[in-house]
Every structure is written in structure tokens, then in C-alpha cells.
Amino acid sequence: MFKECSLNDLSKMDISETEIKNDKLHEECGVFGIYSPSGGEVSKDVYYGLIALQHRGQEACGIAVSDTSGEKGNLKLKKDMGLVSEVFHKEDFSNLKGNIGVGHVRYSTTGGSVVENAQPIAMNYIKGSLALVHNGNIVNANELKEKQMYRGLAHYTTTDSEVLAYEIIGDRVNSGSIEEAIKKSASKLKGGFAVVVMSPRKLVGIRDPFGIKPLVLGVKNNFVDGKGEQGSLFDNEKFDKHNTYILASESSAIRAVGGKVIRDIKPGEIISITSKGITSDYDLCQEKKAHCIFEYIYFARNDSVMDGIAIHTAREMAGRALARKSKVDADIVVGVPESGIPAAMGYSKEANIPYVQAFYKNSYIGRSFIKPTDEERRDAVHMKLSVLEDEVKDKNIVIIDDSIVRGTTMKQLIIMLKQAGAKAVHVRISSPPFLYPCYYGTDVPTSKQLIASKHSNEDVRKNIGADSLEYLSIEDFKYMVGDLQICKACFNNDYPV
């Protein structure tokens, strides 16, 4: 279904009640925001930024843009189900004109797979228009939503992001500035969130006080077209209104649009980009941090740098630690594309066993993980990955993946490797056994479906058909992220919020 919405249309959408009731407040997404104070069109950069963030959400996407020199509330929005390249077409950019914009890619549990839940969440209110994009999960959203409902507010989506938008609007009506309103609203939230808000004249970003979800600030030189100037402007990080400023979930998205990373937004920091400069408010910052370890294990792109840690290196270090802890006498090391590959390379280097590409990945197939039934997930693994038989025949293999959740992927890959003639398949996982659900926005099934939480290591080994199975230990995270304070609740049940 295709729906291009004007703001007024949003309230008229035909939303199936059952879909909404079955849906959970559950998000796992990528956000992008961009502002070019001196003018120019930003929607193409939002598009390319979202393409770079596609791995963070493949279910729905959207772009909202506005013109800061125009009427307050001249916001244009398009959002729909599907990949960024499916939803947006050339002709859309002539409608999405503006020098400030936000974009979103969404990945939720199956129940929430409805277009109404796509973002940006856009609203018109007394002070103009507002568009908001959000990655994370607000644990107390239901509580806030109930209060809003008693105040007579109608909700058109089942997302916690809409709850947050209403909070901000409510606080803005009584506050001096949008930054104050965002700060006030954020102080009521529990959970993990990285949010970018586009208001009529400002782009504002905020990260939860624990830094669970990532957010990075970048700059793009408007003259970066290979015609000089680039060096001098890029070396000068002072605010220049002729530059374009970007907020994104990952550094790879900033680089994808020809920008340069300035720095990570600090946990609890509110950053505001206006035509006069960039201001920062640290009032919500606190000492304790809890960066999501799963970003480093699986979620982020291999080429991103997050809170000072290069993702590829962190994964390679995990692989090296795994090799030191549980080396196998094998002929080859293979990795499960994509996030298992750096760990496999690390394992190979540390154990001095050759790394071999064992799988061909069909990049045109979406995620197998998101499929609703076991059977569909199993079929999706076969569609996505096929074995390079010559490489694995008669070999003793160590296979590395970043995680085992339900066990579907590894079980199917072992069947495929053995069918291709592998003699033995030893499984090494570059994270600890996954035991507890995540409440902050990483899509993890209930503990019941987490294979390691219900079965012993030996039972899991038998179930997936491995010749041996070992995991990284929680202590080994230090090799991945040094002394960065992390949330590892999915492994040790210790939730920061």
C-alpha cells in the first residue's frame, strides 16, 4: 500500500484496529537529520543517509523536509512500508523541497508492521510543525500514553515515538524554546532513545542519559565537489552557516553523504543546530553510562565508528579473544556474512588458521531474522546464503557468527556445510549466550524463544548439529570496547533502567 501523506491526511488514515491492538511498542531503527542554514536542497542527502542506514531497519522508511525561510509549518512528508529504494523515486525529490530534513528507517516486530507506525512522526501545532525520528524504546511509554489519552489526545500510531512527540508539543506550548521542551519531555522518559526533531527553524538531537542508542554529529562542506576548498573548510570545525550539519545513528551515514564526523553526541546531551550556531545542553548527562553492547556485536555497520570504537576492529578483537579462549585444530575459518566476518578474520589471525569465504550472500534478500515463523526463517537462510562447495569439501571448519538467538541460522548453515562435504563444523560465537530480552529497542524475542536461555550448551550444540560450540565470555567484552561503560543486560540480566 502506498500512502503519501500531507499532515492533515495522517489523522484520516484507515487503521485496522486489530493491527494496532496486536502491536507492541517496539522499535529498532536508524535516524538521520540534516540542516543547511544557508539554503539548498537536503532531501537527496536524507535519502542517501537512509540508504546507508538501511541495515538498521528494512520494514518502513520516511523523509520529512521543510524550508526554514518559509512559513512555519510548510513541512512535506513521505513515508511508506518498504526499503528506501522502493519507497522513494526520482520524482519524489521535486516534492520534497527544503533545507532542513529528517529521515527514518524502521524495523519492528512483525505485529507492528503497519504504515501508520512509519516515521517521521509529523505534527502541526500552535507553534508550527514538528517532525520527529526516533531510535530506541521508551520503557514507560504506555504510562505516558495513558495520561495523554486522559487529556483527550488521540493516537494514530502504536509507537512510543508518537507519545514522545505529544510530550514535546505539550511541553513546548508552555516552554520558552523547543530545546527546553525536549529537555523537559526527555527527563520524563525511561529507556534508550536517540531522537532528532525538526522544528520550523532548528534541528535538535538528543540521546538518552545512558547513551544506550547512538547518535553522531557531522558536517558537510557545501562546496565538496572535488573543486578545492574542501581541506580548509573541513579542518575548521567552527560553525559556518554555509556548511550543512548532520545528526545520524551511525558515522557511516555521515560519510555516505560526503560529510565528516565531528563527534558523538554525549549520553544525555541535547544538541541544537540553528542558523546562528550549534548549542549544547548537558543538564541530563549523568555519570553512569550504558552503551548497548549489541551495537558492537551485531547491529552497527562494520565501517562505523561509535563512541570512539571502530566497529570492525571491535568485532575482530572479539574473534581474536575467542581464538585465545577456544582454539580448534581446524583447516579453515569461515564467517557468517556480514557481522560474523570481522570476528572470523580475527579468529583466523590469532589461531593462525586460514580464513576462507565459504558463503555467497544474495544481497537482495532482506533479513531472515524478522520472518514470523520458524519455517519461513529457515527458508530465508537458504535463499540468502549458499555454500561455496569447493572451499569447504573435506575440511574441518571453524564457523564464526556474532550471535545465536533462536538458533535457526546456525542450524541451517551447518546442514548446508555438511551437505557440501565438510568433515566437521565447530561453532564459535563472538558474543556470550543470549539469555535475556532487551527492553531498549533491540529486537530480541521473548526469553522463551532464546535457545540458550532454555537449553544447556550441550543441548544447543546437539540441536544445531555442531561438532563443538563455544562462546565469548562477558569478561572478554573488554577486548572489544576497552573500558567503555556498556549495557550487557541481554547477557547478564543487569538492566540499567
Site residues for ligand AMP per CB under 6 A = 298, 336, 339, 367, 369, 401-409, 442-444
Nearer to ligand AMP, 257 or 490 (CB): 490
363 labelled binding-site residue: no
Nearer to ligand AMP, 270 or 380 (CB): 380
Nearer to ligand AMP, 201 or 367 (CB): 367
Q: How far is the CB of 361 from ligand AMP (least distance, A)?
A: 11
Instruction: Measure Cα distances from 143 to 146, 160, 163, 184, 446 in Å.
Output: 5, 11, 10, 16, 22
Nearer to ligand AMP, 84 or 444 (CB): 444
Q: How far is the CB of 188 from ligand AMP (least distance, A)?
A: 27
Q: Are 355 and 332 in contact (CB under 8 A)?
A: yes
Q: How far is the CB of 314 from ligand AMP (least distance, A)?
A: 15
Phi-psi region of 382 (alpha: psi -120 to 50; beta: other; left: phi over 0): alpha
- Please list the alpha-helical segments (H only) found in 206-331: 230-235, 251-256, 293-294, 311-325
Q: Are 212 and 487 in contact (CB under 8 A)?
A: yes
Active site residue 29: yes
61 labelled binding-site residue: no
285 labelled binding-site residue: no
490 labelled binding-site residue: yes
d(CA 399, CA 248): 33
Q: Are 420 and 387 in contact (CB under 8 A)?
A: yes
d(CA 362, CA 354): 24
Nearest to 98 by CA among 26, 203, 230, 218: 203
| Residue 377 parent element (H or E) | helix 374-384
Phi-psi region of 401 (alpha: psi -120 to 50; beta: other; left: phi over 0): beta
d(CA 328, CA 326): 6
Nearer to ligand AMP, 353 or 444 (CB): 444
The 3-state DSSP composition of the chain as helix, strand, coil percent (nearest 5) reads 35, 25, 45
Q: How far is the CB of 469 from ligand AMP (least distance, A)?
A: 12
d(CA 187, CA 172): 14
Nearer to ligand AMP, 137 or 442 (CB): 442
Using the CB atoms, write b or e for 224-250: b if 16+ within 10 Å: beeeeeeeebeeeeebbbebbbbbbbb
CA 450 to chain centre: 21
Q: How far is the CB of 214 from ligand AMP (least distance, A)?
A: 15
Q: Are 233 and 221 in contact (CB under 8 A)?
A: yes
438 labelled binding-site residue: yes
Q: How far is the CB of 376 from ligand AMP (least distance, A)?
A: 12
Q: How far is the CB of 224 from ligand AMP (least distance, A)?
A: 34
Nearer to ligand AMP, 57 or 128 (CB): 57
Q: How far is the CB of 393 from ligand AMP (least distance, A)?
A: 23
431 labelled binding-site residue: no
In 274-409, DSSP assigns E strands to 278-281, 291-292, 305-306, 309-310, 332-335, 359-361, 385-387, 396-401
Torsion, Cα 397 403 407 410, to 10 degrees, reads: -20
What letter does residue 30 receive in the DSSP assignment?
E
Catalytic residue among 5, 29, 61, 285: 29
Nearer to ligand AMP, 27 or 171 (CB): 27
d(CA 289, CA 208): 10
5 labelled binding-site residue: no
In the annotated binding site for Mg(2+), the residues are 339, 401-402
In the annotated binding site, the residues are 292, 339, 401-402, 438, 487, 490
Which residues participate in catalysis according to the annotation?
Answer: 29
